[in-house]
Amino acid sequence: MRKILVLITAITCSLNVFSQRVTCGTDGYHKDLIERHPAYQTAYEEYLKELTAVAQQDVKASHGKKAVVTIPVVFHVIHEYGPENISKAQILDQMRTLNEDFRRLNADTTNTRDIFKSIAVDTEIEFKLATKDEDGNCTDGITRTVSPLTNGGDEQVKDLINWDYRKYLNVWVINHVGRAGANGGIVAGYSRFPFQTSAAEDGIVINHSFVGSIGTSDATRAGRTLTHEVGHWLGLRHPFQDSGVNPDCGTSNCQTSGDRVCDTPPVLEASFGCPGETNSCTIDSPDRPDQTENYMDYADGRCTNMFTAGQKSVMDFYLGRNEYRGQNVSASAASATGINISNPCAPKADFHVVSRNTTICQKASIEFEDLSWNGDVVDRIWTFEGGSPSSSTFPNPTVAYNTSGKFKVTLKVTNSKGSTEISKTEFITVNKEVADLSSPFIETFESPYSEFTWNKEYDGEFGWQRLDNEGHGGGFASVCAINSETPVNAQYSLISPNFDLSLHKDLSPILSFRAAYSMRATGSAGERLVIYGSDDCGNSWRVLRSLIGITTLKSVDGNNPGWRPNSPADWKLHAIDLAQYGFENSTSLVLRFEVTSNAGNSIFLDDVNVDRNVLSTRELAESLHAFSLVPNPSSGKFEVRLSNVFEPIHIEVLDILGQKLQTLDSKPSGNGEIQHPIWLNESGIYFVRIKGSTIDSTKRIIVSD
């Protein structure tokens, strides 16, 4: 599953990808920074003065052959084992493109038009992956961190890992950038300018689809998105920067508008795709066409191929000042980051399954994948608890599981520099062919058992959790916590245990549940709740219902930031005919409640019920069987009371952590009643669960002196 945005800084590149325009956030970037950091306005104005001053220099006189400078780079791959966990080969391909572009060694220099060839330059800037981390330990210049923040976490990913910005160019690779593009477009990446740098924020965030030209990358960009973003990191602006402010192209491209660089002609607006000969502004003298092949415009990467001498002057200026980027190219930075030495590392063990689904059915097989990093693996040994085979040395072994349960997997990897080992407990879940739980399936979230039987995606701040005093009847409910700081499009899933529908064979079982939700603000569609079903242990899912916040999900009208339900009237009952989706004969059905955030309000879920009737589980237990605990609160002695029961009942007493304190069985009297006494010696909150073939319900009791 995918997830996790404070948007503080963003200069984004814009291009075409997958037939959807990727739009720029430059105007929003300036607005955000000025609103959040008032001092930014002053720093930005000083930056523009510096740019203008540099632009007035005689670039021909200042550009003799100079020593090449090298910038140490580290890529921080933030992932959830999805396609965003890009390969080292893809990152090395990106480094190749960076170096070719900045040294003008790219094969497509021949595509530079004759009118611009005299000013297209080798910037004399190179890039190398670090071989030492901040503590002097061995690194291959790539880190890998598992976090839901890869899904739109943007600035928050920088808090996960961030190396000294005065020595390293930090590049964070994520699944998608959360910052909204104009007109619903995609944002490929964004960068910090060199002025007003910040230890916590400096660097570049980029979507994995725009890294390099192989692997998961978008072919139309040819790896030039990072070339574009590094240009920003070294002080360059877009050539169309103030086109919205100066719709007539301004007075001069290198004084009051555009990128303030004199040898990039003024342009009216950004270029997209691979434009032909255009001349959107005629105020320059001599009048030249739009320089669409410039890396800082928005044409497709396969159609851009040059930096200018004037742009090199700007980058040289910032690389020549220690308060800006000068420290990054110093001898001390080169020594500290190890860019000039070979420093092979021991591998860091990691793995996952190829399908990324760690739940399988009993007697099925699953393929594993060695994802170790930081050093080449020479030898490996897998250990599979409960699996067949129980061990392997293959990179991608296939393992069968014939017994249900949760099983540990261990991987140890080795090379001449050392070895590391990783164990993931209860990593593989093997479901029974016929589930232990059977319908009528009842879940009010009152029992602590739900903490262990339902899988909840929760990152410590956002996502699903079980909370007291939030339910339809005032007790527990499952709540997907969301607020204005939750990443947009972050997704959080709540997955049920599997259960058997044989009792309803050839009938029409109904899934019913209650949900409570209110909108945060106007101008938004709100959150989305999608309910899925699977009868093959989660290998494939069918959509049962999609609920949209502003229309079908909301249970209370109006806009109410931070809203929470406070009465039964705040809840809406939903019902789904499972037979319509082919689940009426399933012996191992799993339900998934998936929320997609829109930075709005939390979603509350209670009374999940699968039966032949649309009836909440609390109503089922209390109306049919009159289940009660008397007295409640209690001094320690109370009775479990039931009526209309004509089968043996299993009773469990649990503490607040879900640990069983007592288990006992009780038979009803001739008139279908049970009155079973229970004694508890210590004060506290406890739960009493009753189970039978037609009932499974939990109630809370308070014991006090």
Instruction: Say what the pLDDT of residue 13 is.
Output: 39
The pLDDT assigned to 180 comes to: 65
User: CATH second-level architecture of 437-615?
Assistant: Sandwich (2.60)
Q: What is the pLDDT of residue 25?
A: 53
**Do 437-615 and 626-703 fold alike per CATH?**
no
126-145 tens-digit pLDDT: 999 999 999 999 999 999 99
Q: Peptide bond before 38: cis, by omega within 30 degrees of 0?
A: no
17 and 220 in contact (C-beta within 8 Å)?
yes
Q: Of 705, 680, 511, nearest to 593 (Cα)?
A: 511
Average pLDDT over residues 7-36: 51
pLDDT of 256 reads 67
Which CATH number fits the domain 626-703, given the four candidates 3.40.50.720, 2.60.40.3080, 3.40.47.10, 2.40.50.140? Answer: 2.60.40.3080
pTM, to two decimals: 0.80
pLDDT score recorded for residue 627: 86
Fold (CATH) for 15-59+67-337: Collagenase (Catalytic Domain) (3.40.390)
Mean pLDDT over 382-405 rounds to 97
The residue among 491 and 623 whose pLDDT is bigger is 491
Q: Is the dihedral of CA 562, 565, 570, 574 positive or negative?
A: positive
For the chain, what are the domain ranges? Answer: 15-59+67-337, 351-431, 437-615, 626-703
Q: Is 239 exposed, middle or buried (0-12, 13-18, 19+ CB in 10 A)?
A: buried
Alpha helices in 72-120 (DSSP H): 88-102, 114-117
Give the pLDDT of residue 62. Answer: 53
pLDDT digits (tens, 9 = 90+) for 283-297: 777 889 999 999 999
With CA atoms as reference, report the closest residue to 639 among 671, 605, 673, 607. 673
Q: What is the mean pLDDT of residues 259-278?
A: 86
* 3-class SS of residue 484: coil
**Contact yes or no for 560/502 (Cβ under 8 A):** no
How does residue 9 score in pLDDT terms, banded at 50, 70 and 90? Answer: very low
C-alpha dihedral sign at 171, 177, 183, 184: positive
Concatenating the DSSP letter of every residue in 661-679 gives: EEEEEE---TTS-EEEEEE
Q: If one looks up domain 351-431 in CATH, what number appears?
A: 2.60.40.10
The tens digit of pLDDT for each residue in 344-372 reads 999 999 999 999 999 999 999 999 999 99
Give residue 535's pLDDT.
92
> Distance between CA 549 and CA 537 in Å, rounded?
29
Give the tokens for residue 592. Answer: 């998934």
- Catalytic residue (choose from 50, 80, 155, 229): 229
Q: What is the CA radius of gyration of the chain?
A: 31
Q: For 63-72, 109-118, 175-184, 327-336, which range has the lowest pLDDT when averaged over its residues?
A: 175-184
Pick the more confident residue, 24 or 94: 94
Tell me what the pLDDT averaged over the chain comes to.
87
Instruction: Give tens-digit pLDDT for 37-73.
Output: 778 888 888 888 888 888 777 665 455 567 899 999 9
Cβ neighbour number for residue 5 with a 10 Å cutoff: 24
For the question of residue 229 being annotated catalytic, the response is: yes
* Residue (of 634, 629, 558, 637) closest to 600 by Cα position: 558
